[in-house]
Amino acid sequence: MTAYLRLELVRTLRDRRYLIMTIAMPVALYLLFSSVFGSQPPSDGLTVDVAIMVSMATFGAMGAVLAASGPRIAQERGNGWLRQLATMPLAARDLLAAKVLAAMTLGLPAVLLVSLTGVAVHGVRLAGWRWLAMAGLLWVGTAPFAALGALIGRLTDGDSAYGLTSGIWFALAAPSGMWMPVRILPRTLQTVAQALPSNRFAELGWRVAAGHGPALSDGLVLLAWTAGLGLLAMAGYRRAAA
C-alpha cells in the first residue's frame, strides 16, 4: 500500500493541471484578497490577513483533494488501470485506502504554500504549535472530500468528472466562509453553511489560528460526512468489481 501511495505522489508532481489549479490558484487568490481586504479590522480574534490565509489554504486543500480523487479514479476506471489492478495481489480495500490517503496528502501543499506566502508577504506570525496543529487538522479534515472524490470517481466517467469536481468544489466553497464571512450571508444560507463539511473544515483552521482547540461539533460534522460518503463509495466499488 505504501508503494502505491508513493506512486500516486510521484505522478502528481508531473501533473501540471493539479499544480496550477490547486496550488498556484489559491496562492494567487490569497495575494489578491489580502491586498484588497487586508486593511479591515480584525474579528473573531483573527486579523484579516490570517483569516484570509486560512480561507485560501483550506479552499486550495479542498480542491486539491477533490481533484486528486474523483477525476483520477474516473480516468483509471475508464482506461482499465483499475481492472488491471484487480488481477494483481492488492486488496480492493487497501487500494481504496491508498487512494484516499494519497488524495488527503495532496491537499497539504496548498496549505503549506499559502501559509508560506502569508509569512513571507504579510509577515504572519503564529506560534509553532499552531502551525503544526493547523497542518495536522487540515490534513485529517480533508477526509470527507477524499470520500466524496471516491464517490464521484465511481459514478462518473473521465470526461464529466473534471467539470463535476470543479462545480462541487466551488459550490462547497461559496457558502462556507472561505470566500466571504458566513455572517454576511442570508440567514437560511448561514444554516446550510453550518451543515457543510467545507465550512467545518475551514472552521478547524480558523480556530487553531486564533489559538483555540478544534470544536467537537466541527469534528462530528466532518466525521458524519466522511462516514456517509465513504459508505456510499464503498458500496459502489463492491458492486462494480469487474
Residues near other proteins (CB under 8 A): 3-4, 7-8, 10-12, 14-15, 75-76, 79-81, 83-84, 86-91, 241-242
Closest approach of other proteins to the CB of residue 97, in Å: 15
CA–centroid distance for 70 within its chain: 12
How wide is the angle at C-alpha 15 spanned by C-alphas 11 and 21, nearest 5°? 135
Which is nearer to other proteins, 8 or 203 (by Cβ)? 8
For residue 166, the minimal CB distance to other proteins (Å) is: 19
Q: How far is the CB of 20 from other proteins (least distance, A)?
A: 15
- 30-35 — which CB contacts under 8 Å span 24+ positions? 30/56, 30/57, 30/114, 30/117, 30/118, 31/117, 31/121, 34/118, 34/121, 34/122
Q: How would you write 59-97 as a 3-class SS string?
A: HHHHHHHHHHHHHHHHHHHHCCHHHHHHCCCCCHHHHHH
Cβ-based nearer residue to other proteins, 89 or 128:
89
Task: Give the nearer residue to other proteins in terms of CB position, either 4 or 131.
Answer: 4
Nearer to other proteins, 15 or 219 (CB): 15
Least distance to other proteins, CB of residue 162, Å: 13
